[in-house]
Amino acid sequence: MRPVGLAAVKAGREAGGVFFILGHEEGRALLVDGRHRKLAAPKKKNPRHFELLPPEEFGRAASELGEELTDRKIIRALAAYKAGRI
pLDDT tens sequence across 42-80: 999 999 999 999 999 999 999 889 889 999 999 999 999
Q: With bands split at pLDDT 50, 70 and 90, how would you rate the model's confidence at 86? A: low
What pTM does this model have? 0.91
Residue type for position 86:
I
Whole-number Å distance between alpha carbons of 1 and 22? 7
Query: 19-49 pLDDT, tens per residue?
Result: 999 999 999 999 999 999 999 999 999 999 9
Strand segments, DSSP code E, in the chain are 5-9, 18-25, 28-32, 43-45, 50-52
What domains can be seen in the chain, in order of their start residue? 5-83 (2.30.30)
pLDDT at 64: 87
pLDDT at 55: 95
Four-CA torsion 59, 8, 76, 86, nearest 10 degrees: 40
pLDDT at 67: 87
